[in-house]
Structure 1
C-alpha cells in the first residue's frame, strides 16, 4: 500500500509539472495561477500544495528536469578517470542543441527564461536561480577544461578561464538567438559544426591587450 501511495504521489507530481508547463506556455507565468494548473492537471489545489508551495518551486522543478538530462555527460567531462573528456564535452553540447529542436518542453523553459515581458516574482526568482547556475557552470567548465588539458586534448598553453567564458557565452548566445528567432538558422543541422568551431576556439592561446599592441606595432 505504501509503495502504491508513493507511486501515486510521483504520478500526481508529474501530472502537475506537465500541466504547469502547458499553462505557462498558454498564459505566461505571470498570468497563470495554481488554480489554472490544478484544473489543467485534473487535481485539487491541495494536491499541488502537497508538492509545490508556489509557481517558483514549479519552475525550479521543471528546470531540474532539463538539467538532469545532461548531467551525466557534463560530469563525465570533469571526471579525471574519463579517457576522452573532450569527446564527452562535444557530445554534451551537440546533443543538447539538437535535442532542444525536438523537445517543446525544453524550448518553453528557455522562452520563460529569455522572455523579459513575462515578469513576476516567480520568473524573477527563476532568472536569479539561472544566474547562480551559470556561475556554477563556469566553475564546472574550468574543471572540465583543466581535465581536458591534462589529458593532452588541448595545448598546454591554452587558457581554461578564457575558454570557459567563451563556451558559456557561445552556448548562451546560440540559445537566446534561436529560442527568440528560430528561423534565424537551422540549429539542428548546424549544431555539430557550431560545436566543432567552439572546440577549435579553445585551442587558441590567451591573447592579452599587451600582446595585441605589440603584434600591431
Structure 2
C-alpha cells in the first residue's frame, strides 16, 4: 500500500510539472498562478502545495527534468570513445544534446527559461542560464585538454578557447532556433556548425 501511495504521489508530481509547463509557456512565470497550474493538472491547490511551496520551486523542478549536463551526455558514450577519442566524444555528446532539444518538453522548458521567466523576484533566470553554460563549458574544457594532450588540437588554440568557441556556437544556434523552431532542425543545423568548428580546431579528422 505504501509503495502504491509513493507511485501515485510521483505521478501527481509529474502531472503538476506537465501542467506548469503549459501554464508558464502561455502566461509567463510571473503572471501564472498556482491555482491555474492546479486547474490545468485537474488537481486541487492542496495537492499542489503538498508537492511544491511556490512557483519558484515548481520552476526549478521543471528545469531539472530537462537539464543536459555535458558530463551525463559524455557518460552515455562508450568508454573507449571517451578515453581514446575525446574529440569524437565531444561531437557525439553535442549530437545527442541537440537531438534531445528537439523533443517538445525540452523545447517548451527552455523557451520558458529564456523568454517567459522574467518578473518573478524569487527567480534569477540569467543566473540559471549562466550556471548551465559554465557547467557545460567546464566539461568541454576538460575534454579539449584531452584532445590537446593527444596532439589533435591546433597549437595556437588553447583548450579553454576551444571550449568557449564551441559553447558560444551551440548557444547561438540554440537561441536562433528557439525564435524560429519550425524553420529548421536544430540537430541538423547545430551539427553542421559543430562539425565545421571541430574541423577548424582539430589537426586530424575525427575517427
- TM-score normalised by the chain length of structure 2: 0.82
**Partner in structure 1 of residue 137 of structure 2:** 138
**Partner in structure 2 of residue 94 of structure 1:** 95
Alpha-carbon RMSD across the aligned residues, in angstroms, is 2.7
> Residues 135-175 of structure 1: CA distance to partner in whole angstroms, max 9, x if unpaired?
22222221121123334443455411111111111111111
Q: Secondary structure at the match of 1:66?
A: coil
Question: Displacement, 1:53?
Answer: 2.0
Question: Displacement, 1:134?
Answer: 1.9
Question: Displacement, 1:11?
Answer: 0.8
Distance in 2, matches of 1:114 and 1:146, equals 31
Distance in 1, matches of 2:14 and 2:116, equals 27
Distance in 2, matches of 1:161 and 1:29, equals 35
**Partner in structure 2 of residue 46 of structure 1:** 46
What stretches of structure 1 move > 6 A for 4+ residues in a row? Answer: none
Question: Displacement, 1:93?
Answer: 1.4
Q: Secondary structure at the match of 2:32?
A: coil
Unaligned runs of 5+ in 2: none
- TM-score normalised by the chain length of structure 1: 0.79
Distance 1:177 1:164, change over 3 A: same
Q: Secondary structure at the match of 1:131?
A: helix
Distance 1:183 1:68, change over 3 A: closer
Distance in 2, matches of 1:187 and 1:133, equals 19
Distance in 1, matches of 2:198 and 2:147, equals 11
Distance 1:51 1:68, change over 3 A: farther
Q: Secondary structure at the match of 2:181?
A: coil
Question: Displacement, 1:2?
Answer: 1.8
Matched, 1:82 2:88: no
Question: Displacement, 1:71?
Answer: 4.8
Distance in 1, matches of 2:116 and 2:26, equals 16
* Contact 1:111 1:179 survives alignment (8 Å): yes
Structural mapping, 1:1-217, within 5 Å? 1-67=1-67, 71-75=71-75, 82-101=83-102, 103-115=103-115, 118-122=118-122, 124-155=123-154, 158-182=157-181, 185-203=184-202
**Partner in structure 2 of residue 209 of structure 1:** none
